[in-house]
Chain A
Amino acid sequence: MILLEKNRKAVLLGNEAIARGALEAGMDFGTTYPGTPSSEIADSISAMARYMKNNGIEPPFYFEYSTNEKVAIEMAAAAAISGLRTLTCMKHVGVNVASDAIMTYAYVGCNGGHVIVTADDPSAHSSQNEQDNRRFAKFANLPLLEPSNPAEAKEMTIEAFNISEELKLPVLLRTTTRVSHMRGVVELNEYPMEKRKGDFKPGDYVTVPEVARKLHPVLLEKMERAMEMAEKSKFNFIEDFGGSYGIITSGASYNYVREAIDDLGIKAKILKLGFSYPVPEKLIMDFLNNVEKVIVVEELEPFMEEEIRVMAQKNGITTPIYGKGFGRFTPLYEYSPQVVYPTLAQFFEIEYELKEDAVEATPRPPVLCPGCPHRATYYAVKKVAGDDAIYPTDIGCYTLGLLPPYKTADFLLCMGSSVGSGGGFALTNEKKKIISFIGDSTFFHAGLPALVNAVHHNHNFVIAILDNSTTAMTGHQPHPGNSIDGMGNEAVKIDIERVVRGIGVKHVEVVNPYNMKKTIEAFRRAIEFDGLAVVILKAPCILLDLRRRKRKIVFEVDQDKCTGCDVCINEFACPAFYREGDKIKINESLCTGCGYCVQVCPEKAIRRKK
């Protein structure tokens, strides 16, 4: 396993580099809830643990996929306050879930180093928003490191543990999609293998008001020391390519700036901030004093720009500062050479023509996989409830039900919102049927409190729990409904049906969604039921199921029977179906043999291929 080799170079994903950095730093304890673009950090740690165990080696750390990000932080905080080195990773919106813990954790602090990774997603490639979590560093008062590439990601992870331990304060390591999912050359160095135990000693860790008031000034003092560390950090450096204009940048934006220097022949001084919060005031002021004007190149919010403008005003420095609103720089979407090159050309007053010959190509949005059990569920639900119902949905592959022809997604905020909003819709839209969709991992993550609310207040709607026994969208991570955990150990499997019944739902049915007739009947009864009804659709993710199968089964269209009614294409819309001339065919390499189309076809024209 390349991730466990030593004394060589390897091409690693930014996320793999973070996992490797944690290993080299002697991480004792790791927690996560998976989410793109952060998932491969934890998946790499999980893979390392399982590889070691399979080879008879005791992993030097404990690792788990926690129920949600808040639980992940709480678990890790206990380990860190007990003196252990801990890592918690999540996607940007995961920090929202964890923030209740994080805001006060900053007051309490840690003893062992605790690195919290937030993987942000500018352009929302795989997210419900593009929030800029550098704001959390300022909001919670936590130091912030921002790598630009995999090599830095590894080095900064190691350094973040050191900074955290020195300040006794958790440190945020912030990546973006383009850093997490960038591969680059990384040095693989030695790592420790001894397993350490925690040693908790009571202290000022109970944040009653009196203690909180005492800890707040301690936190501010820690951040002053963090600022001094940022002033001297090797991750904050100036590159002088001549000229008298300056650029201040960080993260992925640095990569576009640095390459523009070569491609556009720009003469500039670059101040690159890797330890970017607290923004090192003295370093910035010296830089501003040495340039005629400066441009801040940063994605999303004008985070550094605002800090720098305030500092300049405070210090009476009048060097012109450019940033958001100049050229193509806006708070929207990720930066790229397409954004940065023309804007720098304008700032440096040089000729540059961007080659932008836009091409018309038919869009190819992601779709539910052929054989996906969610497609079967949506097909059955639409047969019963049609277009008239309201379909609150949730975070997972099944959000793709939004697309035609299913259109079974009407409202989405965040993890668990299908259940919470379902009650709200039921009370305010009395004549409509409400059917909320939530996946199994999402149900454990944030659906449970909302379900308790719905039962307690006797809300009248239907919750469809799409139980494919994995966290599919992010790469098939285990969750509390599985019997093996992230270390490869046996785990207690939590049965969703028993949980739902235990909370007090009176109408509960469990069906196999691949059985169309039974699924339709189950939804009919659930909708008719006066009160909260839960239908659990139980069938494994087709991608996992295919891996377990020995023989490939495929189906074909009997051209003698097919009348070209198009139900399979227009209503069921499995990607394996296609038209060839006036014939409908099944693409054998896409067909997964689920056989649901046999139930869909009104002419009985689909059969198993022998």
Chain B
Amino acid sequence: MKKSILFAGVGGQGVITAANIVANAALKQGENVITSELHGMAQRGGDVKCAVRIGDVYSSIIPPGTADAIISFEPMEALRNLNVVSEDGVIITDINPIIPPLVSIGIGEYPPVEDIISRMEKKCRVMAIDADSIARKAGNILTKNVVMIGAANAAGVLGIEKENILKAIKEMLKEKYVEMNIKAFEMGEESVSKYL
């Protein structure tokens, strides 16, 4: 068994933490798991990606065209990594663009979100959710990464028992934020119900 999930987003959105929660949940389920991430220069508002691979895996980089899912915290970042996902895979993306500062000063363009989504739909299934709004409703924009995990799990791309994810959340997040994040997880689960 092999499962490959790419978490993508912008530095500061909690992408690496999300991947780390999923990795720990996989271990709690008794699975072998590896992840890859980049730190340092790659963190200052730049694009961030973090692969989570579960099962008989060795490479921390997902071979192109083989990922079961892309979980993206920003639409352009889903598109940037389209090469990684399999045609049988699924993309779950947030719909709120973060315009790169270079675009603001006239270097490059940011296409309409609908165009980005239809470009991706040519390759595989896409589930688009407003994770920013959901996270705010859950209590804090910073719970967005857990909203995305909830959505991914409800869509069946993680293959991990909910109970193990909740255990990982409890172990890894500060106690005072746990309740809010569990709410965010469950709201994330609901958010993709229209696609299922």
Contact = CB atoms under 8 A, between A and B. Distances in A.
Interface of A: 2, 9-11, 36-37, 39-40, 125-126, 148-149, 177-178, 181-185, 252, 254-256, 258-259, 262-263, 336-338, 341, 354-359, 361-369, 397, 400, 403-405, 473-475, 569-570, 573, 575, 577-579, 589
12 contacts: A39-B40, A178-B60, A258-B58, A259-B63, A337-B59, A356-B64, A362-B76, A364-B77, A367-B46, A473-B40, A569-B105, A589-B141
Given A183-B23, A358-B83, A362-B76, A36 B40 contact: yes
B27 A11 contact: yes
B66 to A, nearest CB: 8
Task: Give the most central of B27, B45, B119, B141: most A CB within 10 Å.
Answer: B45
Contacts of B66: 263, 355
B44 to A, nearest CB: 4
Nearest to A254: B58
Given A125-B41, A570-B105, 14 more contacts: A11-B20, A11-B33, A11-B35, A126-B41, A182-B36, A182-B60, A185-B34, A255-B58, A337-B61, A341-B63, A361-B77, A362-B108, A404-B107, A575-B104
Interface string B40-64: 1111111100000000111111111
A359 B105 contact: no
A259 B32 contact: no
Contacts of B171: 2
Given A37-B40, A126-B39, A181-B37, A363 B24 contact: no
B182 interface: no
B45 A366 contact: yes
B149 to A, nearest CB: 15
Contacts of B80: 359, 361, 364
Contacts of B101: 367, 573, 575
Interface residues of B, number: 55
Contacts of B27: 9-11, 185
A506 B105 CA distance: 40
Interface string B1-43: 0000000001100000000100110010000111111111111
B58 to A, nearest CB: 4
Contacts of A569: 104-105
A334 to B, nearest CB: 9
B45 A256 contact: no
A356 B164 CA distance: 35
Task: Give the most central of B59, B82, B103: most A CB within 10 Å.
Answer: B59
A255 to B, nearest CB: 4
A149 B34 contact: yes
B105 A404 contact: yes
B127 to A, nearest CB: 19
B110 interface: yes
B19 to A, nearest CB: 8
A572 to B, nearest CB: 10
Interface of B: 10-11, 20, 23-24, 27, 32-47, 56-66, 76-77, 79-80, 82-83, 99-110, 119, 123, 141, 171
A337 B47 contact: no
Nearest to A353: B65
Contacts of B110: 362
Contact of A126 (B40, B63, B107, B109): B40
Given A361-B79, A362-B110, A405-B105, A369 B34 contact: no
Contacts of A575: 45, 101, 104
Contact of B82 (A252, A337, A359): A359
B83 A126 contact: no
A254 B59 CA distance: 8
A186 to B, nearest CB: 10
Contact of B63 (A252, A254, A263, A400): A263
Given A125-B41, A589-B141, A573 B105 contact: yes
A184 B33 contact: yes
Contacts of B44: 366-369, 397, 400, 473
Task: Give the most central of A148, A183, A475, A579: most B CB within 10 Å.
Answer: A183
A363 B100 contact: yes
Contacts of A589: 141
Given A182-B34, A337-B61, A365-B46, A474 B40 contact: yes
B54 to A, nearest CB: 11
Contacts of A10: 27
Nearest to B97: A578
B164 to A, nearest CB: 13
